[in-house]
Structure 1
Amino acid sequence: MDAYQEPHLPNYMKDDKVTQETKSLMSSLPANKDFMGYGLYNYKGCWYYPNTLQAVLDVQKHFRPRNTDIILASLPKGGTTWLKSLVFAVVHREKYRENPQTHPLLSQNPHDLVPFLELELYANNQTPDLTKFPSPTIFSTHMHLNTLREAITKTSSPPCKIVYVCRNIKDTFVSGWHYRNMLHRTKMDEATFELMFNGYCSGVLLYGPYWEHVLSYWKQSLEDKKNVLFMRYEEIIEEPRAQVMRLAEFLDCPFTEEEEKSGSVEEILKLCSLRSLSNLEVNKKGTTRIGVDSNVFFRKGEVGDWKNHLTPHMAKTFDEIVECRLRGSGLVFQ
């Protein structure tokens, strides 16, 4: 695994920011390795790299959201970049209506406009001053809801809004595979592809298992429709206008009749489209604040690209696992 060592290892995969207290905790946790041989630790049913676990613990300990805050949640490669763009554009649309050419999405990567809680703000043993952020503040996380809830329930304020986006496991996996190749600046072989596939099937991957993560937000969205919105990547692709309007309604900033007639929804969809974002200079070069090259976050964004990469046996295995794990929940993937 030496080919994957420094310098192309992002901070969240390292183990150099772990406190002695967390090292002691890790020694008692179930441990495994990811498909590249890096250590993962299972904390309360979810797998983390050491630095990520440290940051998650710090989020739980220090993060206290305001009731005006918005938290965007997802699994890696589950539609995160698109969701960040859409929510930022919807929430702040009034500010840039008169001068659309000054819109921050034209000059900043979506991940720098909507910071990750555990991968940026609370990474490296930081305790950030969140009062400096404007209201409503939009944060992002890949944390399982049960883990995130430990921080949220410690605040005396009413609950903040949570928007969760999920994607079919097959496309999530394939997108993740390409992401890891770009991230580590290498071309991994077929054997490594099989190892990553096995990791997804067993649930041993960063923030996994996939089905536990998805179910945590799905169930909460059914119980608390006012504060948790569950969105599917595929539905946003199929019905972008309807889904963006649904998003705005949930965030208490619905589009007015005048906005609908004037094409405000379509303007946001155009601004946030993968084609538009990927063609911007800021997203072609440079590095985001979490230390990952900006262009790594933009590929095809298609539904069904898994057909070009998975064998029929792999696709069937994924389908059977997810169907079994989600059975009885009411959540179904096509």
Structure 2
Amino acid sequence: MEASQELHLPNYMKDDNTSQETNNLISSLPADKDFMGYSLYNYKGCWYYPNTLQAVLDVQDNFRPQKNDIILASLPKGGTTWLKSLVFAIVHREKYRENPQIIHPLLSQNPHDLVPFLEIELYASSHTPDLAKFPSPMIFSTHMHLNALHEATTKSSSSPCKIVYVCRGLKDTFVSGWHYKNMLHRTKMDQASFELMFDGYCRGVTLYGPYWEHMLSYWKGSLEDRENVLFMRYEEIIEEPLIQVKRLAEFLNCPFTEEEEESGSAEEILNLCSLRNLSNLEINKKGTTRIGIDSNVFFRKGEVGDWKNHLTPQMAKRIDEVVEVKLRGSGLIFQ
């Protein structure tokens, strides 16, 4: 697929919001192309589209989190929507339990509008966005590597904020990303495009890639700073949701009380944030997020092992071999 082909292109993939300084930087960076023919540039080991790189640089220059802020990190299509829903519901549960007459925001707004992306939304539209308009504690999201994010967070004068990372198996992440691309660009891509995207994925040439470096940055961060960086596996949340939601609440310093345990508060949050519930809401079937992306593109199957329906045994073997080599010796293991 050629870059010139008419597609619905989100702003983060474009190159129309870069400063001259960033253009100068880009001209000096290693370059490659995604499977559609759009240029990607490698900055400090990570691949970006021009507008995304500009926003990342703005985050690093201007974002200074406060002590109580929470940053949710993930790979694209790595469990982002679910993590946003769960954390928002956990952190704000008392507010909506005490005011049952108020409609819970997750029933009327897309999770991505409740927990905005730092580089894809906030700093993509302004070098210095007004962050005070979001409820406290502020919850933000990012796809940035921890190394890139730390260039902003370590400059903050306050204590370290909490960072939660959700990690999903790379074969499922790839397949989910493929379907997302088709829905995002409002087109039906062919098998040749599928194979091109897969090749770029395995080479690490994809937005925010290489994905194994992304995972490793947060894995190592969680080992070095357990108090402020939590590493969660998507598959474990699927397998033991109650245990993982309680673990998440503990990490965020808002554990479920004995009374909440007895009343089933955690179970209520899991039901509220379930894929079945969220995907059936009118706002998520027909709505559009603040950055102009159709809400329904964020909800598909959410299954573990769906890759088996899309990848050949040879493809699966190639990803497994890449991951085994790249993660060797780190202690991070995927089944």
* TM-score range relative to shorter protein: over 0.9
**1:17–1:125 CA contact under 8 A, matched in 2:** no
Does residue 1:160 correspond to 2:161, yes or no? yes
Aligned ranges 1:167-186 → 2 under 5 Å: 167-186=168-187
Q: Is the 8 A contact 1:11 1:291 kept in 2?
A: no
Question: In structure 2, how many angstroms separate the alpha carbons of the residues matched to 1:311 and 1:55?
Answer: 37
- Tell me how far 1:4 sits from its aligned partner: 6.8
Alignment partner, residue 278 of structure 1: 279
Deviations 1:235-254 (A, max 9, x none): 00000000000000000000
Matched residues, percent identical?
Answer: 82
Secondary structure at the residue paired with 2:95? coil
Q: Give the 3-state SS of the residue equivalent to 1:97 in structure 2.
A: helix
Other-structure match for 1:143: 144
Which amino acid is the alignment partner of residue 192 of structure 1? Answer: S
1:155 deviation in Å?
A: 1.0
2:2·2:36 contact (CA, 8 Å) conserved in 1? no
CA distance in 2, matches of 1:202, 1:333: 18
- State the match for 1:43 in structure 2: 43
What TM-score results when the alignment is normalised by the length of structure 2? 0.98
**Cross-structure match for 2:90:** 90
Looking at structure 2, the residues matched to 326 and 144 of structure 1 have their Cα atoms a distance apart, in angstroms, of 16
Question: How far 1:276 sits from its partner (Å)?
Answer: 0.2
CA positional deviation for 1:286? 2.1
Distance 2:140 2:280 in 1: 25
Letter in 1 for 2:46: C
Code of the residue aligned with 2:203 in structure 1: it is S
Listed as ranges, the gaps of 5+ residues in structure 1 are: none
Structure 2 Cα separation of the partners of residues 101 and 127 of structure 1: 32
C-alpha RMSD of matched pairs (Å): 1.2
What's the counterpart of residue 63 of structure 2? 63
Alignment of 1:1-334 (within 5 A): 1=1, 5-6=5-6, 8-98=8-98, 99=100, 102-334=103-335
C-alpha distance in 1 between matches for 2:255 and 2:268 = 15
* Distance (Å, rounded) in 1 between the aligned partners of 2:95 and 2:221: 32
Question: 2:7 touches 2:187 (CA, 8 Å); kept in 1?
Answer: no
Q: What is the deviation of 1:3?
A: 7.7
| Aligned pairs, number | 334
Following superposition, the deviation at residue 258 of structure 1 comes to 1.1
Distance in 1 (alpha carbons) for counterparts of 2:13 and 2:226 = 34
Report the 3-state secondary structure (helix = DSSP H, G, I; strand = E; otherwise coil) of the residue aligned with 1:47: strand
* Contact residue 34 and residue 40 of structure 2 kept, 8 A: yes
Hey, what's the Cα distance between the residues in 1 that align with 2:322 and 2:11?
A: 31
Check whether the contact 2:64–2:156 (CA below 8 A) recurs between aligned residues.
Answer: yes
Greater displacement, 45-54 / 285-294: 285-294
What secondary structure does 1:41 align onto?
Answer: strand
For structure 2, the 5+ residue unaligned runs are none
Post-superposition offset of 1:5: 4.7
Shift of 1:290: 1.9
Q: Distance in 2 between matches of 1:274 and 1:100?
A: 24
